[in-house]
Amino acid sequence: MKKFLIALIISASIFNLGKVEAVEPYDVIRQEVSYYNHSEKEIAWISMAILYAAEQCQIDPMLITAVMETESAFKFNALSPVGAVGLMQLMPSTAKMIGVDPHKPLANVVGGAIYLKNQLDRFSGNGAYALSYAIAAYNAGPQAVINANGIPHIAETQNYVVKVINNYNRLQQMLRG
């Protein structure tokens, strides 16, 4: 029986090679959010907010989704022990610097995207390390990355970078189908 199922799966994949269906970013984001959140209204809102912020900041929506998933597991009222707030876990000082109210959900998502874009731009000259450095800066602050000349030797930040990149790669794979 097991060999039959394996043969069936292989046959199905061979015959469907030319029929790869495009997956929309909204569908991938929605699927990811629904894993954590079971409110249809909130799932749709978060998915659209991510797409809106991505468009406004010219960032891959899968990256915003990966950061948000790692930061808050898509919880509107997330609050960290150090005071980070909301879906994108903005520190009040960061939100103030960007000019957003971190307690307002859309401002939080857009503010997080702006801050992420700032880090992507700041570390863009670091070649293959640019994304990792930007993600580390989102977590630990850009000065920590600059001082360490790379990802800081902080276990939380190192684990954070791995989680975000793993989530991001998985989401991109889902998008490709």
* pLDDT given for residue 22 in this prediction: 54
* In the chain, % of residues over pLDDT 70: 88
Q: What are the pLDDT digits (tens) for 129-166?
A: 999 999 999 999 999 999 999 999 999 999 999 999 99
What's the CA angle centered on 18, arms 12 and 19, to 5 degrees? 70
Q: What is the pLDDT of residues 71-108, one digit of tens each?
A: 999 999 999 999 999 999 999 999 999 999 999 999 99
Taken as a whole, the chain contains a residue count of 177
12: three-class secondary structure by DSSP = helix
The pLDDT assigned to 7 comes to 35
Side chain identity at 147, as an amino acid letter? N
Q: Which of 21, 32, 71, 156 is catalytic?
A: 71
* Domains detected in the chain: 19-176 (1.10.530.10)
Residue 156 annotated as catalytic: no
